[in-house]
Amino acid sequence: MSTYRVNFQIGANTSRTWRCNYAVLMEAAAFNFSTTYINTFNETNAGGQVPMVLDWAIRNESSCEVARRNKTGTYACLSSNSECADSSNGPGYVCSCSKGYAGNPYLPGGCQDYDECKDSSSCPSGGICRNTEGGYQCSCRAGRKFSDKNKTCDPDTGLIIGVTVGFLVLMFFSFSGHMILQRRKLKKVKQEHFRQHGGMLLFERMKSENGLAFTVFTERELIHATNNYDKSRVIGKGGHGMVYKGIVKDNMPIAIKRCALIDERQKKEFGQELLILSQINHKNIVKLVGCCLEVEVPILVYEFIPNGTLFELIHGKNQALQISFSSLLRIAHEAAEGLNFLHSYASPPIIHGDVKSANILLDGNYMAKVSDFGASILAPSDKEQYVTMVQGTCGYLDPEYMQTCELTEKSDVYSFGVVLLEVLTGQEPLKLDGPETQRSLSSNFLSAMKENNLDAVLPNHIKGQESAELVRGLAELAKQCLDMCGSNRPSMKEIADELGRLRKLSLHPWVQLETEETRSLLSGTSTASFGMETATTGYPTQEGDNVPMNPRSSYYAR
């Protein structure tokens, strides 16, 4: 208010003269004229109080928007719960407390929550008022509901529905909360499994070795790839786990192996073994493309091999392919090359531990791929790494290993010798339904060799069609692999070299690789004897080694 002034003009023409005059600034609506104002003068009239309304505004700025932008800090609405409104009586603005608050908006913290429940008119009679920050809520006692429209407490006909809905909502939130807690718990468990299985070591090595083509899959990715491990996706099973066919991004087929339980020692070594296996790149070894470490027992991911196993080709569902003996010999040679790579070129060397025809897979071109490293270990450097429980498959187990529980490269050699017997005889390693004395293929074979009666274990098509020198050479090789003393067995390199020589003989039976005089000078043994070192061993593979199968077979059509 800029000015308030009252003037009385002296000497006015009046009927009476009073000692003084008086005036008052007051609300017009509250003024009621009375003649006593003229006829009577008293202290009440002169010094009494009258109602007055001051209509005012903050005139520093022209509007709220301008005041907020002012950088001089003169904005007057200092309370956090205040609002600004442009003045209606001229330039400027006024401040007021927000709805539900009362006090002085021009002071910091001046607007405080107003308790509307103190006002009896806030909620209807019989209602329950609950003050909230900046407002209030009305509710009714049990059996009645509050009507926002009428502001009354009406009988609650939908109480049962409300209780039911409330119960369902409560259950939903409880279930949601439980699921959130379980997910957090599962995440912690997955992180712990990842750490236990050497996940951090794996990632560090992957960063340091840029050429390491290896993928760490999430559990969700593998569940999606196998349709939640549907039974129809099972392509193999064994003592070390179940194998599923999966499809990952870019429609790439993979083989997913869920391993059986492993002990704490194996868990600690798992990351290191994965690193070694992931770096093996050999045409005759199934490629390990990745793994999943979020689960209690690690899941391995291999390349998918489509044409089954050597066991199926010899004994099982693919037996009808009528594969030629030379092709079987080629597959055995390729498997030997793969095992030789594991023993001789991996660093440290890897012992497969479960060599058998069922673990020799066949790719689209029927090339051998050594697989299933569930029983594999790194070559032991001390006795603490010796396994304490015999692993492997009956019929293929090394007798020396079963006595000492010491797994060595020569244990793989013995098992591979049994695979050679399968190729040579077409018989399974173990016949549980036959006479007890004829159940073991290796025992029957060794007995026949001792009695110089190899024909007793050979099938007719081998006796009549294959070179006697070839058959005898393969039999001698198998015999040396099955020696009861591991130190007397050949190495996988020597086996691969000898199989390469025999393959040459199977392709060209009329070629004599050495003369009788040369053989006598070198070793004093027959050509079939394996132990000699000849200039012909280790020949490189030539075109034509891959002998086609019987043209009538379905494989040839493929």
Burial of 282 (0-12, 13-18, 19+ CB in 10 A): middle
Please, which residues bridge with residue 155 across strands?
144
User: Is the four-CA dihedral 264, 265, 268, 270 of positive or negative sign?
Assistant: negative
Report the DSSP pairing between strands 288-292 and 215-216: parallel
Say how far apart CA 347 and CA 116 lie, in whole Å: 81
Maximum Cα–Cα distance across the chain: 170
491 touches 343 (CB < 8 A): yes
Distant-in-sequence, close-in-space partners of 541: CB < 8 Å, separation ≥ 6: 500
Rounded to a whole number of angstroms, the distance between the first and last alpha carbons of the chain is 105
- The answer to whether residues 454 and 472 touch, using CB atoms and an 8 Å cutoff, is yes
- Examine the residue annotation and report whether 354 is marked as an active-site residue of this protein: yes
As a whole number of angstroms, the distance between CA 137 and CA 117 comes to 9
* Residue type at 117 in one-letter notation: C
**Helices of type H across 293-380:** 310-314, 325-344
| Residue 151 is assigned to a ligand binding site | no
Among residues 113, 156, 354, 412, the one annotated as catalytic is 354
Q: What are the strands, taking DSSP E only, across 348-429?
A: 350-351, 360-362, 368-370, 377-378
Question: Using CA atoms, how far apart are residues 460 and 29, in angstroms rounded to an integer?
Answer: 131
Q: Annotated binding residues, as ranges?
A: 257
> Which residues form the catalytic set?
354
Q: Annotated binding residues for ATP, as ranges?
A: 257
